[in-house]
């Protein structure tokens, strides 16, 4: 039973389905439609004060609340994992307020709300991925005043961004942005992809899924319709490249996934494991074994179950 | 009460019906050229297609001025919109957040509506164009965001100039109106980002 | 097979229990009542009402109880509740000239109609502990005013205005409904209604610091307290179906009007300009800070330079909101290991490449003579 369906004689105050009132949902829905019509442009919206803290996913939560319905299955991840505390907390929020059906399998989800990652399993047509965005303005570090950055977007004046990236190259021999790496959308707007690692940037390009971005504190919504061009900014002599590791996942042996580093002792011991927990688990279920699975079991990271 | 002044009901379950309708609208505008269906759960007022009425119930309220052709504005459709959406009906197309036009009528042109501004292109009008049919007409092929390669629609009953107007609308991107073609329970989105590739 | 050990949900639920336990403290000490907080911590309640943007003393007290006295957490509770409340409309403008005065002081006139009313203030307490408050049973003797206060107490800026010396407060053209920043996104430059609204709910400490910066020269105004008044004001509402005003009750407000110099311009003769602050409850420090910053933010309107933080609307408005600021600062506690891994990969690689380069250069160099 969802909270809004509570009987009228219940004395506790009742909240609407998915927490937000219908007027607010309409306002967010209108912003979403404009966002998909102008890919990469940040639509200002009347972001509401939410019962979760600003900076903790209120933009993503408002978008999910405005689109979710009884036919949906929701997956929530933070750092790629379903079990991180904030992901658990947000999943609980939708279970409580929208009676949401939830899942961990990327394939089963119709809506994926994420913080900092795009799942490893390719997204499919019909899926919606909702990104939590702390800083929607890709030019903010170069120009903190919104009055100015708005003009830069209006006139597609992105020279400052090119200069900044080139300064990096001059100083370090490469662009040193490792996450929230700026992209050019549909050849028109420079967009912040949210703090996903640049490893995930290529997944946004021509994705068959609808990608929605919500910044609650900064009150901005933007979007990438399916099959939209998303190019990571680079230079001909310094092409964009993603992170790579010298070793595969210690648990499942994957060599194509983004890895988290786990410190296993104070002797410099390290283990690298998939950040996408469901991807890793699926691979292990298929029989893939990493070289450090035993160590991980010994240190309580995983446990052996009898099939 | 005489029947002509009776206002037809809106959604019977606003929360879930508007949610489902919104997903159809979102799909229409994020995958231009695809035919989306809304549920035929409401009885629209005279002059509005089910899809048009459902879209307005889902999106319009006291914050969104709506433009209707004069005959609709002064008829049951106007009364219905005021009652269900509390929307202000405006005379000037450029003031409208939403507008409904007849695809076969000569006026108003798409460019008469709010096209947004350089700094706020989102402030443009969303124009619902009611057409004689969404299939079986001349083929128009589109490309752009939301379209893998190209996509073709065959709607019927669009004025002769409409193709040129869509061209002009796309040419001023990121400004421009966003168009929804509506007939019966069907909707096709043609946002400003959509380019015409071929007309046959 | 091996599965990941999961405990996220159980851990989260455990934190809720631990918070409840910490909130209650020693069970041997009687639990504090919401009514006690409302009556005996009224200034804290006022701050919660201001920063929570909701006038409800009972809820403010409940919020303080629930948050263990953490004012920002309490304001957050108020706002998250406020956002779910249905809206019936806007009240009629409040008339602070008709305030039932409890306290009213002016620094610009020695005496004025209605006089100086000190009322309840800490201004002249010596900050010495009253150890008697350590024990229960301290009963304040009710004081009766020696003479009833004057029925009319004109606001000081109105007195100056009658002489033509005060900048007039003109509603914007067409007198539109004020902006509501809890419903619509702000854009810049922000109009005064937006600025005042943002400051009224802004963090007291932040505005105090900014106001102080103005006084110290980071913003060139020379303020006098024209007046600070505290008291009760009636809230009236005109229901659509009635067409006449209905009294909804009284609320306690603090209003501050600062008087500042202005050199004048070609069109305007020299006159005084106004800095305005209006807040819930008895909150003088907040109202005064707000009025200092309000005047500083008018710099652009008067053609003054806007070199300092207190004069820049985008800076003030975006950073005054402590619920937003607290959320974003505290979100740094959330896991960031995906991004950090990206940084680790980069820094290790850059260092490795640097070492290789240095080694190469070393090898290429001729042996140094020993």
Q: Residues B189, B193, B197, CA angle at the centre, nearest 5°?
A: 85
| Interval A275-279 mean pLDDT | 95
Q: Is residue B179 part of a domain?
A: yes
Domain hosting residue B38, numbered range: 11-199
Q: Which residues contact A282 (CB under 8 A, 6 or more apart)?
A: A105, A121
- A76 with A35, same domain: the answer is yes
Task: Find the CB nearest A37 among B23, B147, B193.
Answer: B193
- C284 with C198, same domain: the answer is yes
CA distance A294 to A79: 24
pLDDT band with cut points at 50, 70 and 90 for residue B50: very high
Q: Annotated catalytic residue: which of A214, A252, A253, A290?
A: A252
Q: Is residue A306 part of a domain?
A: no
pLDDT at B1: 41
**What angle, rounded to 10 degrees, do the helices at A58-67 and A22-37 form?**
100
CA distance B37 to C36: 58
Catalytic, A173? Answer no
Q: Is residue C20 part of a domain?
A: yes
- A163 with A261, same domain: the answer is no
| Interval B11-21 mean pLDDT | 95
Which H or E run contains C276? Answer: strand C271-280
Tens-place pLDDT, residues A114-147: 999 999 999 999 999 999 999 999 999 899 999 9
Q: Is residue A305 part of a domain?
A: no
pLDDT at C366: 65
CB B34 within 8 A of CB B28: yes
- C170 with C294, same domain: the answer is yes
Q: Is residue C323 part of a domain?
A: yes
Q: Annotated catalytic residue: which of A40, A60, A216, A253?
A: A40
> Do B22 and A66 count as a contact with CB atoms less than 8 A apart?
yes
- A195 with A286, same domain: the answer is no
pLDDT at A305: 72
> Do A179 and C339 count as a contact with CB atoms less than 8 A apart?
yes
**CA–CA distances in Å: residue C282 to residues A48, C25, C96:** 28, 29, 14
- C69 with C102, same domain: the answer is no
Q: Is residue A302 part of a domain?
A: no
Given a cut of 80, whether residue A239 has pLDDT beyond it is yes
Tens-place pLDDT, residues A153-181: 999 999 999 999 999 999 888 899 999 99
Domain hosting residue A99, numbered range: 3-231
- Of the given ranges (A277-286, B30-39, B52-61, C240-249), which has the lowest mean pLDDT? C240-249
Domain hosting residue C24, numbered range: 12-82
pLDDT band with cut points at 50, 70 and 90 for residue C4: low
- A148 with A273, same domain: the answer is no
Q: Is residue B4 part of a domain?
A: no
CB C108 within 8 A of CB C156: yes
Nearest CA-CA distance, residue A85 and chain C, Å: 5
Given a cut of 50, whether residue A5 has pLDDT beyond it is no
Q: Specify the residue for token string 């990104």.
A: A131
CATH no. for residue B188? Answer: 3.40.50.11310
Catalytic, A103? Answer no
Chain A partners of B15 at a C-beta cutoff of 8 Å?
4, 16-17, 22
- C283 with C228, same domain: the answer is yes
- The Cβ of residue C20 has, within 10 Å, a number of other Cβ atoms equal to 10
CA distance C349 to C364: 22
Query: Higher model confidence: residue C137 or residue A34?
Result: A34
Structure tokens of C87? Answer: 């809206």
pLDDT at C319: 96
Q: Say if C168 is an interface residue toward chain A (CB within 8 Å).
A: no
- A69 with A191, same domain: the answer is yes
Could you tell me which chains touch chain A, where touching means 3 or more CB pairs under 8 A? B, C
pLDDT band with cut points at 50, 70 and 90 for residue A6: very low
Nearest CA-CA distance, residue B138 and chain A, Å: 25
Q: Is residue A178 part of a domain?
A: yes
Tens-place pLDDT, residues A77-112: 999 999 888 999 999 999 999 999 999 999 999 999
- A198 with A260, same domain: the answer is no
pLDDT at C22: 97
CA A117 to chain centre: 5
Given a cut of 90, whether residue A274 has pLDDT beyond it is yes
Could you tell me which chains touch chain C, where touching means 3 or more CB pairs under 8 A? A
Q: Is residue C2 part of a domain?
A: no
pLDDT at A299: 73
Backbone angles phi, psi at B47, to 5 degrees: 95, -15
Structure tokens of C165? Answer: 């010396």
Q: Which of A231, A256, A284 is the last residue of a domain?
A: A231
Tens-place pLDDT, residues C31-42: 999 999 999 999
pLDDT band with cut points at 50, 70 and 90 for residue A307: low
- A99 with A138, same domain: the answer is yes
Which H or E run contains C50? Answer: helix C42-52
> Do B26 and A23 count as a contact with CB atoms less than 8 A apart?
no
| Interval A218-234 mean pLDDT | 97
The total number of structural domains that make up chain C:
2
- Of the given ranges (B23-37, C20-34, C119-133), which has the lowest mean pLDDT? C119-133
> Do A305 and C353 count as a contact with CB atoms less than 8 A apart?
no
Q: Say if C58 is an interface residue toward chain A (CB within 8 Å).
A: no
Chain A partners of C203 at a C-beta cutoff of 8 Å?
none
| Interval A241-247 mean pLDDT | 89
CATH no. for residue A21? Answer: 3.40.50.11310
The total number of structural domains that make up chain A:
2
Q: Is residue C111 part of a domain?
A: yes
- C113 with C39, same domain: the answer is no
pLDDT band with cut points at 50, 70 and 90 for residue A306: low
pLDDT at A287: 92
């Amino acid at each position: 039973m969802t909270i809004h369906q509570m009987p009228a004689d219940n004395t506790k105050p009742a909240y609407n389905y998915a927490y937000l009132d219908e007027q607010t949902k309409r306002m967010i829905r209108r912003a979403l439609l404009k966002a998909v019509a102008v890919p990469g442009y940040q639509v200002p919206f009347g972001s509401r004060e939410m019962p979760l803290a600003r900076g903790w996913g209120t933009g993503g939560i408002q978008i999910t609340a405005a689109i979710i319905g009884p036919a949906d299955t929701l997956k929530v991840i933070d750092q790629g994992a379903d079990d991180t505390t904030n992901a658990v907390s947000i999943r609980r929020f939708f279970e409580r307020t929208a009676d949401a059906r939830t899942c961990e399998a990327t394939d089963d989800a119709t809506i994926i709300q994420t913080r900092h990652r795009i799942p490893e399993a390719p997204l499919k047509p019909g899926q919606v991925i909702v990104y939590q965005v702390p800083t929607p303005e890709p030019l903010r570090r170069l120009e903190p005043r919104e009055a100015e950055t708005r003009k830069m977007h209006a006139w597609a004046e992105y020279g400052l961004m090119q200069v900044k990236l080139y300064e990096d190259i001059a100083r370090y021999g490469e662009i040193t942005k490792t996450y929230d790496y700026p992209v050019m959308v549909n050849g028109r707007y420079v967009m912040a992809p949210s703090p996903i690692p640049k490893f995930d940037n290529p997944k946004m390009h021509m994705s068959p899924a609808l990608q929605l971005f919500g910044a609650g504190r900064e009150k901005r919504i933007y979007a990438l319709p399916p099959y939209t061009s998303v190019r990571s900014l680079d230079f001909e002599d310094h092409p964009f490249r993603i992170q790579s590791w010298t070793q595969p996942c210690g648990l499942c042996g994957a060599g194509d996934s983004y890895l988290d580093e786990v410190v296993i002792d104070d002797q410099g011991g390290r283990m690298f494991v998939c950040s996408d927990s469901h991807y890793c688990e699926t691979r292990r279920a298929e029989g893939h074994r990493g070289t450090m699975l035993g160590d991980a079991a010994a240190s309580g990271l995983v446990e052996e179950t009898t099939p | 009460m005489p029947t002509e002044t009776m206002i037809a009901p809106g959604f019977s379950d606003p929360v879930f019906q508007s949610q489902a309708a919104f997903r159809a609208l979102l799909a229409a505008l994020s995958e231009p050229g695809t035919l989306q269906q809304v549920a035929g759960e409401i009885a629209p007022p005279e002059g509005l297609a089910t899809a048009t009425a459902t879209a307005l119930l889902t999106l319009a309220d006291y914050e969104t001025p709506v433009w209707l052709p004069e005959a609709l504005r002064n008829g049951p459709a106007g009364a219905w919109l005021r009652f269900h959406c509390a929307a202000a009906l405006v005379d000037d197309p450029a003031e409208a957040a939403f507008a409904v036009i007849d695809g076969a009528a000569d006026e108003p042109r798409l460019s008469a509506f709010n096209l947004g501004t350089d700094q706020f292109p989102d402030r443009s009008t969303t124009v619902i164009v009611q057409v004689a049919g969404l299939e079986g007409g001349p083929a128009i092929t589109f490309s752009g965001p939301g379209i893998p390669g190209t996509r073709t629609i065959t709607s019927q009953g669009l004025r002769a100039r409409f193709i040129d107007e869509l061209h002009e609308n796309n040419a001023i991107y990121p400004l421009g109106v966003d168009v929804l073609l509506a007939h019966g329970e069907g909707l096709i989105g043609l946002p400003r980002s959509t380019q015409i590739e071929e007309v046959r | 097979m091996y599965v990941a050990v999961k405990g996220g949900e159980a851990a989260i639920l455990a934190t809720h229990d631990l918070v409840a336990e910490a909130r209650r403290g020693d069970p041997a000490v009687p639990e504090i009542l919401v009514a006690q907080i409302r009556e005996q911590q009224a200034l804290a309640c006022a701050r919660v009402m201001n920063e929570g943007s909701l006038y409800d003393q009972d809820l403010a007290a409940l919020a303080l109880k629930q948050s263990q006295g953490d004012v920002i957490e309490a304001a957050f509770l108020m706002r998250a509740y406020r956002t779910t409340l249905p809206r019936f409309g806007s009240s009629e403008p409040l008339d602070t000239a008709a305030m039932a005065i409890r306290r009213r002081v002016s620094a610009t006139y020695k005496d004025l109609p209605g006089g100086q009313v000190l009322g309840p203030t800490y201004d002249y307490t010596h900050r010495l502990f009253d150890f008697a408050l350590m024990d229960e049973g301290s009963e304040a003797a009710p004081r009766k005013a020696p003479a009833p206060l004057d029925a009319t107490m004109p606001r000081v800026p109105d007195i100056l205005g009658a002489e033509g010396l005060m900048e007039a407060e003109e509603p914007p053209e067409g007198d539109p409904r004020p902006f509501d920043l809890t419903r619509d996104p702000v854009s810049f430059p922000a109009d005064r209604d937006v600025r005042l609204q943002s400051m009224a709910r802004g963090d007291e400490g932040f505005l105090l610091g900014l106001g102080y910066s103005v006084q110290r020269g980071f913003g060139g105004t020379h303020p006098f307290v024209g007046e600070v008044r505290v008291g009760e004001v009636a809230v009236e509402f005109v229901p659509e179906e009635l067409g006449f005003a209905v009294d909804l009750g009284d609320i306690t407000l603090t209003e501050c009007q600062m008087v500042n110099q202005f050199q004048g311009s070609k069109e305007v003769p020299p006159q005084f300009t106004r800095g305005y602050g209006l807040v819930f409850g008895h909150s003088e420090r907040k109202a005064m800070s707000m009025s200092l910053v309000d005047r500083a933010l008018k710099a652009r309107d008067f053609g003054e330079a806007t070199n300092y933080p207190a004069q820049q609307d985008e800076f003030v408005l975006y950073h005054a909101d402590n619920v937003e600021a607290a959320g974003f600062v505290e979100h740094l506690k959330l896991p960031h290991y995906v991004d950090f891994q990206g940084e680790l990969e980069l820094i290790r690689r850059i260092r490795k490449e640097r070492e290789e380069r240095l080694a190469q250069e070393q090898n290429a160099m001729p042996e140094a003579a020993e």
